[in-house]
A and B are shown apart, each in its own frame.
Chain A
């Protein structure tokens, strides 16, 4: 294989790296050229998306280090699109003085996402994880004027590096047992190897790193502070892109690499393997996330705990362990990512206008900005799973896939737990909406102000995302059928 061919197959990643460098140099030339930086970044993303569509349909390089398949291409495009929206939010935010560097880091994190999505080899996955992680640590701590941002960065970094160490150790154990790092070959070797405790340790440790990335309980402790303290676009990116890519790669690891040690998570029929581990994580996340979210008064913290719960729902699809379950999990996490970027967009506007993001800051939003209030209602209700929004279809798809898997509705207990969880969640999402629609604005009394003048870019981004959530709810087929078709 020539280098030219390699460059061709890795062209989307290459384009994004070049864009990151380009953004850096633009910001070197002129400190004030924030609009130019953003323009270069957006242009680079568009070119990268085009490059993805020109990739061949199926190609595997170097034992899975770089895999091109309909699934990887689809999710590269989704990750690039999520980055695009993050950059739009960052553009409207403009809090930092180093806008060029900020955008460059977002782009580098995107390369990490694309490597994660496009690889079926443990070392490459680890490199992707680290590239993504290191960029996100800096993004979380980017606001130097805010102590909370530093706290967010530090916590994210400490938990993240510890769990990376676990993952690396787990990978080394699995390599020691099977002598390979390619997922497909690991799967083949494990099918002939008897299950032993060393293998179990390897699997559990590998999963820890991903449980951290998707903020599943009990590895979620970084999430509340990171979501609350980090600059709004960083938090949005951590909650969306990073999660989508992590779910794709987690699904590939367990469904391709660890396929022979699936085990069973049925209620009275637990068999050792990775699925009971993930089922436990899912159950814990649903319970802890939803219960702790009940007590929050800060919207970003509430979103963080609800993120824990949503990670739990999504894991149910992976526990189901078949094509349909994986497809449902991916649909759900994509919809969730779109919803959360939108919600953070609204939070960003409210924060800029009122100086905070507690419930009290949201009071009377419906009279200050009906459009944003309406969008926030769409996002919150979609998260709660109210039709006709995308979150509702996502839940239905997930839970029906989970019931289809296994004989005798073995996963009914997990589905029932998920439903109880979403019942609880409606309460706290309604509290947010109550502040927005029912309570009278306290801000207005402090200083009389005309209708909130939202930055039009942010307002239109949020509206676009809101429309996407409604569209995916009314016509889920446009995304669901693509994901299902892409999964082999």
Chain B
């Protein structure tokens, strides 16, 4: 019976989550073992209306948006200010808008990928105030006032970040779709464990899916990145 109750509880929880979030992407909370932090803040109003991100009056960005909604819907949007790769974007958004859609709809920042709708694949990982977060499992309103780094913002001064370079050097990518998320999951791992064993790397990446590489060259890439980064810090 306990099993049945547990199953029922999970079912109800899933129904609630499904109701709270759009069908286009139904995020589930990440498993406890996954190296992904909970996003800061809590959704104050996750009721589902339309998800249009509209530039607000003080908008500094020139990002594209979808067509205007009706007056009623506009009243149900919320104001957010999110800094992405050092540039501040102010928008009126629906409370249900996922952070990953907020980012991808800004205009040119499509490097962050959506590979699933259950928070499994990790393709959407970005840094939110320095922590890796699955941006499909975070609402844009939760990121209000935060700083986001996407894959487009990781390389500086035209030079690849050592993790990006290591993925290139060790053939840690094939189709490239999981790569932005893998790079950020590796970033998180190396922040906390600068000299990981291969086992620690594999554990650290178990929240990210790759179907091309069999993970082996990703593990090599992270190992190589760790070596390069520690060499740099010694210099």
A, B assembled together: no
| Residues of chain A having any CB pair with chain B under 8 Å | none
Interface residue ranges, B against A (CB under 8 Å): none
